[in-house]
Each structure stands twice: as structure tokens, then as C-alpha cells.
Amino acid sequence: MDEFKMVVILLVEDDVADQKLIKRSLSSNKVANELQIVSSGEQAIAYLKRSKDGEPNSPMPDLILLDLNMPGMGGKEFLNYIKADNELGTIPVVILTTSDSDRDVLETFKLQASGYIKKPVSLKDFQEAMQNLSEYWFVICKRVCHGNKNERRTHKCFVGR
Amino acid sequence: MDTSKSVVVLLVEDDPGDQKLIRNALGHQKIKNRLYIVGSGEEAIGYLERSKTGDTESPRPDLILLDLNMPGMGGKEFLRHIKADNDLCAIPVVVVTTSDSESDVQESYKLHAAGYVQKSPSPQELQRLVEKLAKYWFATSLLVKN
């Protein structure tokens, strides 16, 4: 019988109101998830370094939700960085941003984003988008297991019903 | 509402039975989509090269569904090829295959697959998988405008 490991989502988003809205949208999701939030590309890189080192408070994410418009290291620069990493490059990154410009969509898919969601406005639409996202990534898709080094038991990634 | 615009899907799959199952499943989706089927990696490359020239019979796909186990050029080799193409690399490729081996999953994601779905022999189950796949790619995610 497969052990169930709660999925970990890393949200890279600088806007505090959007952080709250996304957290609310995911809290009612049918797929139980742990949301980790960082507010910049730089913080995201630091978080992922800690994950690699097996720090228990920074579990390796199963999925990254990435805003594009952030001060300092923007979303595209972060995406480029992570996709060049041998281990981190296999984590799916889904863009979640206000822009729906053709150029932003094209550039992020070229950088191997695994989806591009324009931020919905209402909570209900947001919840629906997050539900579709989690059913795709956590129920029907197989994913690479990134076991945390400090865990003594071996976990299987959650295998969809 | 622009009803002429529908999502173009390219299925790269050699098994005729699976071709039929996936065609049926996609045909049932509420969101309009046009499915093109090729039976090998080589044929897929030919199709994509034609799509670059604006060939109306080979429209550029918005999404590629890719089997791994095909004779000749396998799925991984095809994936590697398309991701090395500066133009075609922007098309999301979802692996849809029988294998659930960890190494196949890992290698596919290393080659930048945008998802990995294990096929089911049950048509109802496959229908369900395709429905969730379609909901994500056709109704939730934006796609590159061609």
C-alpha cells in the first residue's frame, strides 16, 4: 500500500494580498497540501538550497507556483536558474501571474514552465483553477520523488487514485 | 466567442488501439480540440517540420502527447530533439505511456516533459485521465498563441 506524503507547494510571490488569496484557495483543495511561501526569486533559491541540504523546515517542493513580476530577480530569471539545476530542474514550475501577454507566455514556455495561469480575480475562480492544477499534477501525473535526506523511512510519492 | 479556434493536439503513439482510445477520450471533451496522430518519433518530427512552413494539413500543435515505447526513435529521443529546437521547445509535451518506472519518470522530467501520465487499459479510466489533462491544459493554463 502506498504511503501518503502530503504534497508540498512552494509559492514564489511578493504581493501579500495575493499570498493570502492563494493560501485560501489551496486550503480547501481536495488534495491535502503544505504551502511554503517566499517573496522573491532570491528567497526561493535560498529555500531550495536548504531543501537540498535536508533541512526539515524547508521540505523539497513537489510543485512551484511562480509569479513573474517581482523586484530584484524576476520570475523568468528564477525559472532559468532552476531549470539549469540537475536536481531542481525536474520540479514542475507553473507560472501564476497577472500578465497574460503573449510574450510572457511564450518566453516562460521556452524556459520550460509547465503551465501558465493568469491569476483569477474571484476566490471561487481561484479555487477552481487550483483544483484543476492539483488534480493534474498530484492525482493523474507521476512525479519525481524528491525524498528529504533526514527522513528515515522511504516514502513513495503519492500515487494518484 | 471565436468558435473556429480550437486547441490542436499532436498524439505521438504507435499502438492503434491506444490511438483509438485517446481519440475517443479527447473527442468527448467539452473544449473543442483537433487531434492529429502520428505513429512514430520520426513521423512526429516530419509533422512538426511541415508545421513550421505553415502547412494547413499539419497545424502547429498547442500540446503534444507522447508515448515512450515506440520502435525506431523512442519517445525520449524525440523529446530531446524537440526541446533542442529553439522554436518547437515552447510546445508542452506530456508523456502518456504504459511504464511507471521511476527512471522513465525521472528521465522524462529531466528532458522537460510537462507531465507524465500512465495509460490505463480501462477506457473509462483513460477517459478520466484525459478529462483532467484537458481541464488543466485547455481550460486552466494559457497556451502559446500560434
- The CATH code of the domain that includes B54 is 3.40.50.2300
- Provide the number of structural domains found in chain B: 1
Q: Tell me which residues of chain A have a C-beta less than 8 Å from any C-beta of chain B.
A: 83, 86, 89-90, 92, 94, 100, 102, 105-106, 109-110, 112, 114-118, 129, 132-133, 135-137, 139-145
Give the span between the Cα atoms of A127 and A122, in whole angstroms: 9
Chain A residues with beta carbon closer than 8 angstroms to that of B140: 115, 117, 129, 132-133, 136
Total-model pTM: 0.93
The boundaries of the domain holding residue B59 are 7-139
Domain that holds residue A35: 7-140
Interface confidence (ipTM) of the complex: 0.95
Q: Report the residue of chain B nearest A85, measured CA to CA.
A: B110
Which residues in chain A land under pLDDT 50? 1-2, 149-156, 158-161
**Cβ separation A109–B92 shorter than 8 A:** yes
pLDDT tens-digit series, residues B69-104: 999 999 999 999 999 999 999 999 999 999 999 999
Whether residue B43 is contained in a domain is answered as yes
Q: Residue A65 corresponds to which cell in the numbers above?
A: 507556483
User: Which pLDDT score is estimated for A161?
Assistant: 35
Min Cα–Cα distance to chain A from B82, Å: 11
**pLDDT for the residue A2:** 45
Record: contact A140-B133, CB cut-off 8 A: yes
Instruction: Indicate whether A150 belongs to any domain.
Output: no
Is the distance from CB of A154 to CB of A147 less than 8 angstroms? yes
Contact A115 B109 (CB under 8 A): no
Task: With beta carbons less than 8 A apart as the criterion, state whether A148 and A56 touch.
Answer: yes
Whether A119 is in a domain gets the answer yes
The per-residue pLDDT of chain B, averaged, comes to 95
What pLDDT shows up at residue A146? 81
Candidates A137, A140, A146: best to mutate against B (most CBs of B within 10 A) is: A140
Amino acid at B83: K
Query: Is the separation of the CB atoms in B63 and B92 below 8 Å?
Result: yes
